[in-house]
Amino acid sequence: MQTLNLGILAHVDAGKTSLTERLLYAAGVIDQIGSVDDGTTQTDTLALERQRGITIKSAVVSFLTKDRTVNLIDTPGHPDFIAEVERVLTVLDGAVLVLSAVEGVQAQTRVLWRALRRLHIPTLFFVNKIDRAGAQPDRVLAEIAAKLTPQVIAMAWVRGQGSRDAAAGSFDGGDPAFTARLAEVLAEHDDDLLAACLQDPAAIGFRHLRRALAAQVGGCLVAPVFFGSAVTGAGVAAVTDGIRELLPAAAADAAGAPAGQVFKVDRGAAGERVAYLRMFRGTISIRDRLQFAGSAAGPPGGARRTGRAGKVTGISVFDRGAAVPRPRVTAGQIGKLWGLDDVRIGDVLGEPQRTGRRQFAPPTLQAVVVPASRADSGALHLALTQLAEQDPLINLRQDDLRQEILVSLYGEVQKEVLQATLAGDYGLDVGFRETTTICIERPAGCGEAAEFQHVGDNPFLATVGLRVAPAAAGAGVSFRLGVELGSMPLAFFRAVEDTVYQALQQGLHGWQVTDCVITMTRSGYSPRQSAAHQRFDRSVSSTGEDFRGLTPLVLMSALQRAGTAVCEPVSSLRLEFPADCLPAVLAALARLQGTPFAPELRGSGCLLDAEIPAGRLHALQQALPSLTKGEGVIDAEFARYQPVRGAVPSRPRTGHNPLDRKDYLLQATRNLGR
């Protein structure tokens, strides 16, 4: 049986979880449709999700539609939880992008659509809530064509929109107008079809057009648009048929070398770690030992992930709603795996199927988490460590000197959810200090440094030389060898490389360093030595600890010679407001160091594109209602990092500081025991 791994994505409150309920009900998986408002849905299983009526964590359910098993992944819609969506995108065969027939294309809709196109994921649109007052399906269809892609085709008719009796049904081959529109859209990407249309349009059969449509949807050339209401069920049968007929099933090479990706990590009833793995190729059975490679995606300048191994002790595969125990999981399926105690989100088994490059911006905010009682500090760190397993972009940082724990955030809602989770699941009462902006550092030029063993005050039995050079914006960090690979044991090269990635998490001003190339220019070591019939003598032989200890000193020296520029995140904005409010809006942008572009007047309204430092976005959002008589609307998304204007912000360092050579060497000598 074929398998389709399907993502349901949307801007918050567009109705994707309600659509999930309706699809499960129509497939016979559930006998009663749950309500988001009542907290009775299948996929919003967390108490906090039921309480708030929003999806916070991705959830997997399964249903059958004729000859196909659909693994449906419901994702969060709120932008504060975009990291959950990103992890899901890497394992999808197709997607349904849900829009509201009232609100239409919203800010998050555009962000999601761009990511789906970049990853080449076949997508259907479902315009929901045609029964809501103010529903305008035709306007939303026009918005999709204007703001997302012109290559769309409406697959359903709507009548009675805006009322409880709203209905939607599929166009078919008996509708000449629809057949002509479909042929016209498809002919733009099919020369043979274009020739046939010019010769005799009536001779083209509807089945041929439907097959051509499926091929072009699979190739991400065309996006069908369906209409309906997840609440009443109108139009859901048509979108179910579209899911089955138009979205391509997963490849099923069960005999190949195992390849898959971990997109979710959860905790079982006994506190054990459970990995959600999408299998792209091959088969995994219980008792198999797996070797994972770390994901390349992560915070800017973050440490490179090294390989991880584990033995599978249990497997469940999603089938008709729930995950059921199975002896194996095979190509195309999603499995829950037990026994992989060291596995992390993003870990890759075998060859990665999709790029590890980030599709969305990393978190741009940070805050200190403060326990109500100092006695809870240890428990708080343990709880946050477990939560970071489920969301690595929390990027937990502990400042031992100040006894502070910092977390990275996308927004205030995420902070509220984190606070409620710590209280509800761990019994910890916590608060947050003021939220601040996360900056990055980029090398301003080139710099080089080296330390040689037995020279000067170098206590390490290692020689390391490093050169730092800037790379293109968004390139991340790359490590290269400028010395012969055989000049010393491979383990020592790995120790240097891993330490470089780790040390770059804190640059000259305490921020993560990114967009640079690090080249190892010098190497040297003391071979393994021991007296006759004696044990290994580490006092005269190099170890990995020597290279891990020396590398931060060399790297920071090279970075000091290169210099760094501290850069802050910038958001791009689109504002809509009454035209007579333009002077007030421009003045507010100027106060907040925003950069407006040429305004576009549309009758009594105004459309204005602008950019603003991300740290000042919240202030603009709060001020906008008073500036625009309550009629202003703002769409914002991450644009880029740019050098900070004015005073350069710094972040307190954690751990031993290689910029303080005397203190660093004192601590390192104690650790070496020499």
pLDDT in tens, 33-62: 766 655 556 555 556 655 666 677 788 888
Q: What are phi and psi of 442, to 5 degrees?
A: -125, 140
Specify whether 230 is located in the same domain as 343.
no
Q: Is the pLDDT of residue 251 over 50?
A: yes
Q: Is the pLDDT of residue 270 over 90?
A: no
Q: Is the pLDDT of residue 297 over 60?
A: no
Specify whether 331 is located in the same domain as 198.
no
Residue 615 covered by a domain: yes
The domain boundary residue, chosen from 349, 373, 400: 349
CATH code at 630? 3.30.70.240
Specify whether 447 is located in the same domain as 506.
yes
Contacts of 586 (CB under 8 A, 6+ apart): 596
More confident residue, 12 or 552: 552
**Taking residues 644-660, what's their average pLDDT?**
88
What confidence score (pLDDT) does residue 296 get?
Answer: 44
Contacts of 632 (CB under 8 A, 6+ apart): 575, 576, 577, 581, 585, 624, 625
Specify whether 412 is located in the same domain as 267.
no
Are 482 and 501 spatial neighbours (Cβ–Cβ below 8 Å)? Answer: no
d(CA 672, CA 178): 76
Specify whether 22 is located in the same domain as 100.
yes
Q: Is the pLDDT of residue 68 over 50?
A: yes
Specify whether 41 is located in the same domain as 124.
yes
What confidence score (pLDDT) does residue 42 get?
Answer: 59
**Taking residues 424-441, what's their average pLDDT?**
90
What confidence score (pLDDT) does residue 361 get?
Answer: 73
Please, what is the angle between helix 236-246 and helix 206-218, to 10°?
A: 70
Q: How confident is the model at residue 320 (pLDDT cuts 50, 70, 90)?
A: confident
Residue 648 covered by a domain: no
More confident residue, 577 or 400: 577
Q: Count other Cβ atoms within 10 Å, centred on residue 291.
A: 12
Sequential DSSP letters for 459-509: -SSEEEEEEEEE--TT--EEEEE-S-GGGS-HHHHHHHHHHHHHHTTS-TT
Poorest-confidence range of 28-37, 250-259, 565-574, 581-590?
28-37
CATH code at 87? 3.40.50.300
**Taking residues 400-429, what's their average pLDDT?**
84
- Residue 284 sits at the vertex; the CA angle it makes with 283 and 287, to the nearest 5 degrees, is 150
**Taking residues 429-443, what's their average pLDDT?**
91
What confidence score (pLDDT) does residue 51 get?
Answer: 62
Q: Is the pLDDT of residue 316 over 60?
A: yes
More confident residue, 522 or 528: 522
Specify whether 478 is located in the same domain as 537.
yes
Poorest-confidence range of 358-367, 376-385, 525-534, 567-576?
525-534
CATH code at 418? 3.30.70.870
What confidence score (pLDDT) does residue 504 get?
Answer: 96
More confident residue, 200 or 123: 123
**Taking residues 642-656, what's their average pLDDT?**
88
Indicate left, alpha or beta for 570 from its phi (over 0: left) and psi (-120 to 50: alpha): beta
Q: How confident is the model at residue 322 (pLDDT cuts 50, 70, 90)?
A: confident
Residue 89 covered by a domain: yes
Residue 359 covered by a domain: no
Q: How confident is the model at residue 124 (pLDDT cuts 50, 70, 90)?
A: very high
Q: Count other Cβ atoms within 10 Å, centred on residue 587.
A: 11
Q: How confident is the model at residue 318 (pLDDT cuts 50, 70, 90)?
A: confident
Percent of the chain with pLDDT over 70: 90
d(CA 606, CA 609): 10
| H-run or E-run covering 614 | none
Which runs of consecutive H residues, i.e. helices, occur in 219-356? 236-246
HEC readout, 217-259? HHCCCCEEEEECCCCCCCCHHHHHHHHHHHCCCCCCCCCCCCE
3-class SS at 52? helix
Residue 313 covered by a domain: yes
CATH code at 330? 2.40.30.10
Specify whether 548 is located in the same domain as 572.
no
Are 101 and 132 spatial neighbours (Cβ–Cβ below 8 Å)? Answer: yes
What confidence score (pLDDT) does residue 299 get?
Answer: 44
Identify the burial level of 399 via C-beta atoms within 10 angstroms of its C-beta, where 0-12 means exposed, 13-18 middle and 19 or more buried: middle
What confidence score (pLDDT) does residue 269 get?
Answer: 79
What confidence score (pLDDT) does residue 621 get?
Answer: 86
**Taking residues 414-436, what's their average pLDDT?**
88
Residue 134 covered by a domain: yes
CATH code at 666? 3.30.230.10
Specify whether 186 is located in the same domain as 70.
yes
Q: Is the pLDDT of residue 491 over 70?
A: yes
Residue 357 covered by a domain: no
Specify whether 588 is located in the same domain as 523.
no
Q: What is the mean pLDDT of the chain?
A: 87
For 319, the domain range is 259-349
What confidence score (pLDDT) does residue 303 get?
Answer: 43
Domain count, the chain: 5
pLDDT in tens, 202-225: 667 888 889 999 999 999 999 999
Q: Count other Cβ atoms within 10 Å, centred on residue 142.
A: 14
Specify whether 550 is located in the same domain as 668.
yes
The domain boundary residue, chosen from 246, 271, 299: 246
Q: Is the pLDDT of residue 305 over 70?
A: no
| H-run or E-run covering 28 | none
What confidence score (pLDDT) does residue 359 get?
Answer: 63
pLDDT in tens, 597-623: 999 998 889 999 999 998 888 889 889
Give the max Cα distance, the chain: 93
For residue 645 the two structure tokens come to 């204007």
The domain boundary residue, chosen from 438, 463, 483: 438
Are 581 and 630 spatial neighbours (Cβ–Cβ below 8 Å)? Answer: no
Residue 576 covered by a domain: yes
Specify whether 578 is located in the same domain as 476.
no
Q: How confident is the model at residue 301 (pLDDT cuts 50, 70, 90)?
A: very low
pLDDT in tens, 532-544: 555 666 667 889 9
**Taking residues 273-296, what's their average pLDDT?**
87
